Amino acid sequence: MTSESIAPTNARATAIEARPLYQQTRDLLLKRIIDGVWKPGGYLPSEQQLCGELGVSIGTIRKATEELVIHGLLERQHGRGTRVVPHSSAKSRFRFLRFVHGDGRPLDPVAHLLTQTVRAASAEERRQLDLDPNGKVLALTRIRSEKDQPLVYERLALPAQTFAALGLETGEDIVEEVYVFYQERCGVTIMRTMDEVGLAMADALMAQHLGIAMGAPVLEVRRVAYALDGRRVEYRESFTAHLKYKTALE
């Protein structure tokens, strides 16, 4: 009978944790993605190389990478290996865009950036983004349309320092999903989101941009998006009078 362990990577390496070895291996692989050792679009070393480096079996490596595949962080490409998944508009929409038309058709929106400013975070933004009392946010408002029909009005708040290089142009139409820009320009990969769905009433600006009456009922989705390292990096409020919110529970 043989045992396996994760090979120490530095002088402060400690004893094996009381967790399944594949989970320890998964977390180590994830840390290397977070630290930029393996960048989006780049390939991991071969399974044999990882086994030798970490001192674990191929079965453990495969189970660890499979969990990251399931979470959309890695993908296996036949004959080429396993790579870190880069965000793309198609992938991000499939994973994170939960608005659909009334008949269930998927949404294929274009976003128009209305305003952007760096300002002091509100109390709610500080709470949602775990910011300190003097925290600042990059605040964006945008309208998402399909075939020139405005469908979703959104307010986004991002930690200003983290997203200083975002570089979006006010007034431009953006076909790419914003999570693609987070990754490409700011080095922030969105791993998961937490959405809270409710009802609200349209304020004056929202009504104007959605073409509805002020005070009309709208579907409201409040979202907190998390980066790979667990940081809260986006607080978003989305409003629509025309679409449904759809998700799957497993």
pLDDT of residue 11: 36
Place 205 in a pLDDT band, splitting at 50, 70 and 90: very high
Cα gap 143→154, rounded to integer Å: 6
pLDDT tens digits, one per residue of 221-249: 999 999 999 999 999 999 999 999 998 77
Q: Is the pLDDT of residue 128 over 60?
A: yes
DSSP string of 190-207, one letter each residue: EEEEEEEEEEEE--HHHH
pLDDT of residue 142: 97
Average confidence (pLDDT) over 44-63:
92
Q: Which residue has the higher pLDDT, 117 or 97?
A: 117
Cα gap 64→76, rounded to integer Å: 13
Q: Is the pLDDT of residue 141 over 80?
A: yes
Cβ neighbours for 42, distance < 8 A, ≥ 6 positions apart: 83, 84
Average confidence (pLDDT) over 176-197:
93
Q: Is the pLDDT of residue 148 over 70?
A: yes
Q: Which helix (H) or strand (E) holds 62?
A: helix 58-70
Q: Which residue has the higher pLDDT, 163 or 52?
A: 163
Q: By percentage, how much of the chain surpasses pLDDT 70?
A: 92
